[in-house]
Amino acid sequence: MLTFTDRAREMVIAFMDQSGEELRALRVHMDGSPVAPSFALTLVGDDERRAEDLELDGGGFVVVVDRQSADRLDGATVDFVNRVNGSGFEVIPAESVGGQAARAAPT
């Protein structure tokens, strides 16, 4: 469903390690239209998970996705990129328009 590059996986695990034992899952949420999607990646604790959330294996960590975002994230790839103007997570939808990706940073 949702794929993480090796670099993205390493960075998520590093952020989780920095948070201690409190934040042990990554919530991925998608808003906006198919033409202009926006993504939010947030580290969450057990108390922030909802019964209706889907839990996925991120390859060393749990990914939590709300049902509304799940269908839209199907086939997407999460990457971590370093650019001249900054670094951060990038979510590339399976059907990205013109190859556009949206940037998101964990909050």
pLDDT tens digits, 52-69: 899 999 999 999 999 989
The pLDDT assigned to 33 comes to 79
Find all residues with CB under 8 Å of 3, minimum gap 6, and list them.
Answer: 75, 76, 77, 78
pLDDT at 98: 46
* Chain mean pLDDT for the chain: 86
**Residue 43 · residue 14 · CB < 8 Å:** no
pTM score, whole prediction? 0.82
